[in-house]
Amino acid sequence: MWVAGFDMIYACQDAEFDAAMRLFSFPGRFGVKAALRAAALCHLGMVALLAALPLVYDPFGKIYLAGVLAVAALLVYEHSIVRPDDLSRVNQAFFHVNAVVSVGLLVVGCVDLLF
């Protein structure tokens, strides 16, 4: 869900081309605004699944859940900097924010397992 979400954000840059070439990308078919909404729903689902993980994997606890909250905050930030009428910060959202999300989630998961 995370990859699908950020891939949809990134694909928004090519929406006009995709539509003109009749490619079946989500932004090309449904528009940038709908793609950004779908990406937000994917990211919401991702956060819900990450938050539910301790229910089936007991070793994760408070540190991990704090990391999930931080990931949620980063995803909110990611969606706040990319707008349907301004895609100029897609690269910042795609490369910088997602790098912090992936490494951050790894770190908090490892730290929680150690403590």
Q: Find the helix packing angle between 62-81 and 32-56, rounded to 10°.
A: 180
Is 60 within 8 Å of 45 (Cβ atoms)? no
Domains present along the chain, CATH in parentheses: 2-114 (1.20.120.1780)
Instruction: Identify the pLDDT of residue 94.
Output: 82
CB atoms within 10 A of CB 1: 16
What pTM value is reported for the model? 0.91
Query: What is the per-residue pLDDT for 93?
Result: 86
Mean pLDDT per block of 10 residues along the chain (115 residues) reads 94 95 94 97 98 95 96 96 94 88 94 93
What's the pLDDT score for residue 85? 93
